[in-house]
Amino acid sequence: MINDFKKHCNMTRLSAICNQLVELSKQAFAVNNGNIPKWEGAITNIQKTQSGVLSFKHPYIAIDTHTNDQALAQSLKQLMPWRKGPYQIGELKLESEWRGDMKWDRLKDHVKPLQGKIVLDVGSGNGYFTYLMAMQGAEIALGIEPFLLFNYQFQAIRALINQPPKAYVLPLKLEQMPEQPLFDSVFSMGVLYHQKDHNLHLQQLMNVMADEGELILETLIIDKQHGDQIIPEDRYARMRNVWCLPSTDTLHSWLQTAGFKNIKLVDVTKTTPAEQRATHWIGDNTQSIKDFLDPNDDNLTIEGLPAPKRAVFICQK
Ligand SMILES: C[S@@+](CC[C@H](N)C(=O)[O-])C[C@H]1O[C@@H](n2cnc3c(N)ncnc32)[C@H](O)[C@@H]1O
């Protein structure tokens, strides 16, 4: 996959940074992680499956192939938990924890056409959205995702596609990206609230964007009635590392301070158990949103904070 990326990357405006991205990715894959042999074994088995044509069959990213569902499911389950998706391979439905299509539906009509664009998907997970971006005709859609398992999941799906689209996921953090203004469309979805320094994240996004480039920012927010922002003392909806929950007005002002223009709030949606659900593709810990909310009041998390609501902002550099 890295070789394919390098070849393709060198044919685009990203050519100046390809070698650096490849080197950093190789270093990230070379870490000492005891799970890697299991994950690589799964990919080797998956590569034996006949590949098929990729399409979007709502809500699934679908691969039209004839498979032995049981054998394939067994290999794919070596790569659990599958947070993002859903995918369908032949008749096999890989029901991930999240219905990614629901987020995509909320934002796709607000985003400038991705046809011919150089696209960055920050915190791409296993690349569900990165694939959709490439399927919209992007010249290249690069997902960056530091969690190695999700990189292997991306590779597993890619191994099943006949003539994969121009989508790649590399094991990188935004802060490792060369600060060159190269990307036309930059997505940061579900990432800002994991950042200790939200201003730094916004600045780093700005730094990789081409002039007039578009940022699509999706993150957890709170209603105004709860104040300007909440900084959870401990966990939020059982998640560790949630650092900031701003109101939409506060987030708007953060974007303004970072220097973004034409800031538009295009969606606010409460997260429901239809969008985040426990499935048998998430492994032994089968808890999902229902278990993270107050059993007596689904407007509150189990910790007594406002229940998850997400906003999508779109703005320009
Ligand atoms: C909640 S998930 C969101 C995944 C996907 N973008 C979505 O919207 O469903 C956040 C992802 O961002 C990744 N992440 C966290 N900090 C990051 C950083 N500094 N750079 C790149 N990715 C990051 C995490 O590993 C995680 O997979």
Binding site annotation covers 80? Answer: no
Span 249-308, pLDDT tens digits: 999 999 999 999 999 999 999 999 999 999 999 987 777 788 899 999 989 999 999 999
Q: Which of 126, 145, 196, 313 to mutate to test the pocket of ligand 1 (most atoms within 8 A of CB)?
A: 145
Q: What is the pLDDT of residue 66?
A: 85
| Residue 194 in contact with ligand 1 by CB distance below 6 A | yes
Query: What is the 67 CA–ligand 1 centroid distance (Å)?
Result: 31
With CA atoms as reference, report the closest residue to 23 among 5, 44, 43.
5
> What DSSP element (H or E) covers 55?
strand 53-57
Binding site annotation covers 123? Answer: yes
Binding site annotation covers 310? Answer: yes
Q: What is the pLDDT of residue 284?
A: 79
Query: What is the 123 CA–ligand 1 centroid distance (Å)?
Result: 3
Query: What is the 204 CA–ligand 1 centroid distance (Å)?
Result: 14
Q: What is the DSSP-derived secondary structure letter of residue 161?
A: B
Binding site annotation covers 104? Answer: no
Q: Which atom of ligand 1 is nearest to the CA of 84?
A: 9
Q: What is the pLDDT of residue 290?
A: 82
Ligand 1: residue whose CA is nearest its atom 27: 125
Q: What is the pLDDT of residue 170?
A: 98
Span 142-158, pLDDT tens digits: 999 999 999 999 999 99
Domains of the chain: 97-316 (3.40.50.150)
Please say whether the dihedral angle defined by the alpha carbons of residues 199, 247, 123 and 284, taken in this order, is positive or negative: positive
| Residue 125 in contact with ligand 1 by CB distance below 6 A | yes
Q: Which atom of ligand 1 is nearest to the CA of 121?
A: 6
Q: Which of 194, 195, 202 to mutate to test the pocket of ligand 1 (most atoms within 8 A of CB)?
A: 194
Q: What is the pLDDT of residue 286?
A: 74
pLDDT in tens, the chain (317 residues): 899 999 999 999 999 999 999 999 999 999 989 999 999 999 999 999 999 999 999 999 999 998 878 999 999 999 999 999 999 999 999 999 999 999 999 999 999 999 999 999 999 999 999 999 999 999 999 999 999 999 999 999 999 999 999 999 999 999 999 999 999 999 999 999 999 999 999 999 999 999 999 999 999 999 999 989 999 988 999 888 999 999 999 999 999 999 999 999 999 999 999 999 999 999 877 777 888 999 999 899 999 999 999 999 999 99
Pairing of the two strands 261-270 and 167-170: unpaired
Q: What is the pLDDT of residue 145?
A: 98
Query: What is the 174 CA–ligand 1 centroid distance (Å)?
Result: 10
| 146-to-25, 28, 51, 128, 259 alpha-carbon distances in Å | 9, 8, 27, 15, 27
Query: What is the 68 CA–ligand 1 centroid distance (Å)?
Result: 32
Query: What is the 257 CA–ligand 1 centroid distance (Å)?
Result: 23
Query: What is the 130 CA–ligand 1 centroid distance (Å)?
Result: 12
| 301-to-73, 234, 290, 296 alpha-carbon distances in Å | 33, 12, 10, 10
Mean pLDDT of the chain: 95
